[in-house]
Structure 1
Amino acid sequence: MRNKTIGFLIAVILFAGCQPSVPSAPPQQTGAPPSETVAAPGTTPQAGGKLKFAVVPKGLTHQFWLTVKAGADAAGKEFGIEINWIGPEKETEVVKQINLIEDQIGAGVNAIVMAACDQDALVDVIQKALDKKIPVVTIDSGVNSDLPHSFIATDNVAGAAAAARELAKLIGNEGEVGLIPFVKGAGTSEQREEGFKKGIAEFPNVKIADVQYSQSDVIKAMNVTEDMLTRNPNLKGIFAANEPAAVGVVQALEAAGKAGQVKLVAFDAGDDEVAALKKGTIQALIVQNPFRMGYDGVKTALDVINGKQVEKRIDTGVTVVTMENFETPEVQKLLNPLG
């Protein structure tokens, strides 16, 4: 009898071991539509892992991008995210930027925060990232597409229009001016050119006599400014649309002995630009908030992963800085975000 009982118990145990396990219920998903607010599969790290975000600027050398990096690094430190800062050396290296982003997609980063070197050429690689369930946030320079979850930048049209009004005021609302955008086809450059032209159109006695592109290169900007001054001896003012353009124009004006005579308004606030403002070669700076672009770019990408609502467009604002308001606490905080 004892042997029969043992045999029966063994049979029961073996039968139970052959039954399939019941899968646990899948976790509930919350949030808004996946295109804007829900983290897609594959965007979170393995248990105990650390999120890795690729932050891809248009260039690596100018102070504007270094301030963007400082903002991204600050957000990374605050939220425990590893920041891969990688980009082309020059803002004209569109293919290189595409290749770098493709490398980051292949490496399996959890999100991409990027400033597009070209508003059309970068669309396909953004689609590749989204196909891999990697959220994309654009900063400073966007693309001709609604694919990115959010675009965080200056309102460049409004900022350049403000530059036009400031320059018109400096030259007494009449005379010829020059315009130096940077890269044809780059969204930021196109928008600043558009905004400046719209702003100047408000002044019937001010004429844009010449438009030359700097290619975001100081030497190129200096050379085109020299040519502009030669072709237009009556030029009364110039708008330089970014930091390297401004530095090149400063060098050309000082070499020609026209510093302060030809008025200069410029975007951004690199060290050389601020020095030229203090010296009087630049009369006004249109100052962005690149630190906030970097910080908000990382934070917004994290919000996407966490299924939070994000704004499709975030304007980081501009401030017109002259020597009249240079020492104010607000301007000093903007110029020195890290203290």
Structure 2
Amino acid sequence: MFTAALMLLATTVFSACGASNPAPTSKPQTGGTTAPAPAAPAPAPDAKKTDKIYIPVISKGFQHQFWQAVKQGAEKAAKEFQVEITFEGPETESQVDKQIEMLQAALGKNPKAIAFAALDSKAAIPLLQKAKAANIPVVGFDSGVDSDIPITTAATDNAAAAGLAADKMAALIGNEGEVALVVHDQTSRTGIDRRDGFVNRIKEKYPNIKIVDIQYGGGDQLKSTDLAKAIIQAHPNVKGFFGANEGSAIGVLNAVTESKKDKIIVVGYDSGKQQIDAVRSGKMAGAITQDPIGIGYWSVKAAVQAIKGESVKKNIDTGFHWYDKTNIDSDQIKPLLYN
């Protein structure tokens, strides 16, 4: 018994030692350090990479196609100006705390500048003050900050754009009747400006139009759908809805469809695939399109200019346009739509 056990133990040890011999043949697929080691990237490119100007770009979210288009523009500028960027944002546009954590982490990486689209225009100010104290230029994009810390903000004139949406809505409902709004939030500069731009235009120019409700869906389609349904139930005579961003607009559209109230006019904001399809089909009367690629591009370009000590305009207006099924395929509008 004892002898047999010794023989078994010896066999096991021998097998275990021998099992490591074939490893070099399989390591090339798993990044091993034996035979493939000479093919690994040399240190020089990594060192060169760290020498690049680093600019974190912190957006308001990732769940909408809009932000993917902004990212595309930021990456275009990064390539053109030979800088390194990271592009990130919370999963939803209601996660203010998570965005603040991202901003804190970005500051900890000692960037040369920061591009930031604030979910809450006031909550980020303490961290932005730290950036200023460290001589790190801050560029706002899409949504500004209630502070003079950002050297510039690359964004749509959201109040003016929402005012145009109100004019279009008024014309579509015959300048009279009840309308409602579903807005993504009441803390970001975009949410505030789009809400106030629409409301103020209605109050100033259209005395026979009544705004019966304003709700905030966090840019979430499902929540916006439920909110719009509740408004329809409470105000059965409502003639129009303004959805103040991509998620809000699609949520409103879903509510109108599910409530079988197809005569309600829906006006949106942004231009992702679902809205494009809805406008083409006539289910959505039209929407405001921004230039998301331009917003992303200018956020990085302005940061580079600031790092180099070049002058930068305090506000960079990236423009907006109304689109509906009559002009959606025009040369002016088509480049501003994104899928």
Match of 1:110 among 112, 126, 130: 112
The match for 1:62 is 64
Whether 1:245 and 2:248 are equivalent positions in the alignment is yes
The match for 2:171 is 169
> TM-score, with normalisation over the residues of structure 2?
0.84
The match for 1:28 is none
Superposed CA deviations along residues 248-304 of structure 1, whole A, max 9, x for unmatched, are 111111111123x10011110011111111121110110111111100010000000
Q: Which runs of 5+ in 1 are unaligned?
A: 1-44
Q: What amino acid maps onto 2:146 in structure 1?
A: N
The match for 1:235 is 238
**Retained in 1: the 8 A contact 2:271–2:338?**
no
Q: Which runs of 5+ in 2 are unaligned?
A: 1-46
SS in 2 for 1:55: strand
Superposed CA deviations along residues 143-165 of structure 1, whole A, max 9, x for unmatched, are 11111110111111111111111
Match of 1:98 among 89, 97, 100: 100
Equivalences for residues 296-315 of structure 1 within 5 A: 296-315=298-317
Distance 1:124-1:170 versus aligned 2 partners, 3 A rule: same
The match for 1:280 is 282
Superposed CA deviations along residues 124-158 of structure 1, whole A, max 9, x for unmatched, are 11111122221110001111111111011111111
The match for 1:212 is 215
Deviation at 1:183, TM superposition (A): 1.0
Distance 1:186-1:95 versus aligned 2 partners, 3 A rule: same
CA RMSD of aligned residues (A): 1.5
SS in 1 for 2:210: strand
Q: Distance in 2 between matches of 1:223 and 1:249?
A: 9
SS in 2 for 1:212: strand
**Retained in 1: the 8 A contact 2:55–2:84?**
yes
Deviation at 1:48, TM superposition (A): 7.9
Q: Distance in 1 between matches of 2:335 and 2:90?
A: 29
Q: Distance in 1 between matches of 2:260 and 2:182?
A: 19
The match for 1:33 is none
Distance 1:48-1:187 versus aligned 2 partners, 3 A rule: closer
Moved more, 217-226 or 46-55: 46-55
Q: Distance in 1 between matches of 2:48 and 2:320?
A: 40
> TM-score, with normalisation over the residues of structure 1?
0.84
Deviation at 1:47, TM superposition (A): 11
SS in 2 for 1:173: coil
Structure ranking higher in helix proportion: 2
Deviation at 1:336, TM superposition (A): 4.8
Match of 1:322 among 310, 321, 324: 324
Q: What amino acid maps onto 1:263 in structure 2?
A: I
The number of residue pairs the alignment matches comes to 292
The match for 2:11 is none
**Retained in 1: the 8 A contact 2:59–2:88?**
yes
Deviation at 1:168, TM superposition (A): 0.5
Deviation at 1:46, TM superposition (A): 9.0
User: Percent sequence identity over matched residues?
Assistant: 40
Q: What amino acid maps onto 1:206 in structure 2?
A: I
**Retained in 1: the 8 A contact 2:289–2:323?**
yes
Q: Distance in 2 between matches of 1:175 and 1:52?
A: 52
Q: Distance in 2 between matches of 1:336 and 1:212?
A: 27
Q: Distance in 2 between matches of 1:66 and 1:47?
A: 24
Q: What amino acid maps onto 1:329 in structure 2?
A: D
Deviation at 1:107, TM superposition (A): 1.1
Which aligned segments of 4 or more residues in structure 1 are displaced greater than 6 angstroms?
Answer: 45-48
Whether 1:258 and 2:261 are equivalent positions in the alignment is yes
SS in 2 for 1:85: strand
Equivalences for residues 81-92 of structure 1 within 5 A: 81-92=83-94
Deviation at 1:61, TM superposition (A): 1.5
